[in-house]
Amino acid sequence: MSINRKELEEIAALAQLNIPETQVSHITESLNQVMAMIEHINDANTLEVTPMAHPNDAWQLVRQDEVTDSSHKNELLALAAHADEDHYLVPKVIE
Amino acid sequence: MINLSVRAMSAMLESKQISVQELCGVYSDRTQAFNADTNALITIHAELNAAELLQAQALLKQGGHPLAGIPLVHKDLFCTHGVKTTCGSNMLAEFVPPYNATVVQKLSDQGMVSIGKANMDEFAMGSSNEHSAFGLVSNPWDLSRVPGGSSGGSAAAVAARMVPIATGTDTGGSIRQPAAFCGITGIKPSYGRVSRYGMVAFASSLDQGGVMAPSADDCGLVLSAMSGHDPLDSTSAQQPQFDWQKPKTPDSKGLKVGVVSAWIEDLQDEGIKQRTLEAIAQLQANGAELVEIDLPHADLAISAYYVLAPAECSSNLSRFDGVRFGHQTEHVTDLESLYRQSRSEGFGQEVQKRIMIGAWALSSGYYDAYYLKAQKVRRLISDDFKQAFSQVDVIACPVSPEVAFKHGDKSEGVSMYQADKFTIPASLAGLPCLSMPIGFTQGLPVGLQLIGNYFAEQSILSLADQYQQQTNFHLQFPEAFA
């Protein structure tokens, strides 16, 4: 598996990243090296093997659906670059 | 003073031979003096936290609190209330959390006093601590070399005795490899042993907080305090709080230690091979029975890891949108450009690379072929360990095939990834594992990895402590930092 420029642009869009023109060939090569390394997993016979998503799939916990913490609205809004008293502010989306 | 164990420092504090302020002052002075050489810390507290000092003094008065008054630094991805938590990234360069990570809170509750925050590879992605927005970290044993990573700042700070204890995190070896490169002890507990609440996420099914310190006994004391089920983290295990019991003698009789001979025979570095064989011989001399084991799928671990960890990373790091917290670009034209430009400016190259690998592995057409396939390989590796632990109590193996390398030597290609081949298998399985110092080659420290069964931290720490009762490698630190 290896990618070309067009595929790099698609991946960058999925990742919400911009690739500077000067970096395109370096990043393409760098990702292709990792993808070549990843190919090794196809050497494994995984027929009838159950995927392992997590080491603790035996004890996933649940709790009652109850409010356990009070509002931290002001502290959290204060972390944003732009906010008013009740909202995060972003560029206009709807004309 | 600077090479005393936690127990020895605690005894001095309890008997009032030294005050908390004096002890913390000794280490604060050392962080000020040596950070220019190592760059181990991103933040050094100009003044100690008054509440933490009062808590330490109150607990010392009560007695029975061995960590009260002991200074530490937290890896800079543990959220600290009111103290900058950068994760080594421009994305979080100005982020001041409004809450403490559970690990931070638990150690503070036991009277530990934070004196700073440790440098790290950005978002814990890297094995050299060269990927930090706050500059690379140098290995105290040779400042032209890396300390390992991603917990490189934590390891360097302990190795230079700038602090006696540091927290770290380990996703694929990020506690064990820097511990080995810097000649200290570091433990990654079982997945779920320590709460991940307030620990900035990289790969959620792999990340685990742990401890770095000169000795296994120091690590055991701190791990006991920081572990335990946390209702704030649904992946934290419902296990009793870990309660470290230091062995009274170096006798390891009755313990079966598994060895993968092929891993040792394949080591290209003769010095590492010799130190590894000598250390395993010492375990045997202490009474452990050596048993040959096989981990037949371990050579697939790196490939599987570099699908799974980036996939989880791409999902976790999608929260950094430039809107709610973290870096926001000034070059905004519309909402999408706000997202893309903020992320492109905020994340470094290595982080962007891993996000893209993850986005690719999770995308339509590749999910089954790579992501699901890697999860199946993960199961095979985990089953190998289950089989091994039906025969043995602990596995002893190398941490890294190399000693600390020169800055810049591995900046291209995938050789840095491939050097994690001994640490990643246990990470995928979620097993507890540690690195302990076992001597030197070319003047640089070498570590041995001990892997235990699920929640058997006591067995690996005991074996390490018994080894350290018979050796003094864990007491050695670089002369330049005496």
Q: Where are the domains of chain B?
A: 6-254+392-481
Give pLDDT tens digits for A1-34: 789 999 999 999 999 999 999 999 999 999 999 9
Rounded to an integer, the average pLDDT of A43-66 is 85
Cβ distance of A17 and B414 shorter than 8 Å: no
Give pLDDT tens digits for B418-455: 999 999 999 999 999 999 999 999 999 999 999 999 99
Any bridge partners for residue B433, and if so which?
Answer: B188, B451
Cβ distance of A18 and B340 shorter than 8 Å: yes
In chain B, which residues have their Cβ closer than 8 Å to the Cβ of A14?
A: 359-360, 363
Give pLDDT tens digits for A65-78: 888 777 889 999 99
Rounded to an integer, the average pLDDT of B20-29 is 96
B209/B243 Cα distance (integer angstroms): 17
In DSSP notation, B419-432 reads TTTTTHHHHHHT--
φ, ψ of residue B122 in degrees (nearest 5): -50, 125
Q: Does A76 touch chain B (CB under 8 A)?
A: yes
Identify whether the C-beta of residue B165 lies closer than 8 Å to the C-beta of residue B112.
yes
Q: Does A82 touch chain B (CB under 8 A)?
A: yes
| Kind plus residue range of the DSSP H or E element containing B238 | none
B150 is catalytic: yes
Identify whether the C-beta of residue B459 lies closer than 8 Å to the C-beta of residue B405.
no
In DSSP notation, A30-91 reads HHHHHHHHHGGGGGS--TTPPP---TTTT------S---S---HHHHHTTSSSB-SS-B---
According to CATH, the topology of domain B6-254+392-481 is Amidase signature (AS) enzymes (3.90.1300)
In chain A, which residues have their Cβ closer than 8 Å to the Cβ of B307?
A: 38, 41
pLDDT beyond 90 at A56: no
Give pLDDT tens digits for B300-311: 999 999 999 999
Q: How far is the alpha carbon of A17 from chain B, nearest alpha carbon, in Å?
A: 5
Cβ atoms within 10 Å, residue B264: 16
Interface of A with B in 11-40 (CB under 8 A): 11-12, 14-18, 27, 30-31, 33-35, 37-40
Cβ distance of B377 and A44 shorter than 8 Å: yes
Q: How confident is the model at residue B79 (pLDDT cuts 50, 70, 90)?
A: very high
Cβ distance of B343 and A17 shorter than 8 Å: yes
- Cα separations (Å) of B183 from A93, B154, B474? 54, 12, 7
Question: Tokens in use for B344?
Answer: 């492109």
B256 is catalytic: no
Strands ordered across the beta sheet of B185-188: B41-44, B113-118, B71-75, B166-170, B208-213, B185-188, B433-441, B444-452, B394-398, B256-259, B289-292
B234/A4 Cα distance (integer angstroms): 41
A21 SS3 class: helix
Cβ distance of B378 and A33 shorter than 8 Å: no
Q: Does A81 touch chain B (CB under 8 A)?
A: yes
Q: How confident is the model at residue A57 (pLDDT cuts 50, 70, 90)?
A: low
ipTM above 0.90, yes or no: yes
Q: Give the pLDDT confidence score for residue B413 in this predicted structure.
A: 86
Among the options B28, B128, B138, B150, which is catalytic? B150
pLDDT beyond 80 at B104: yes
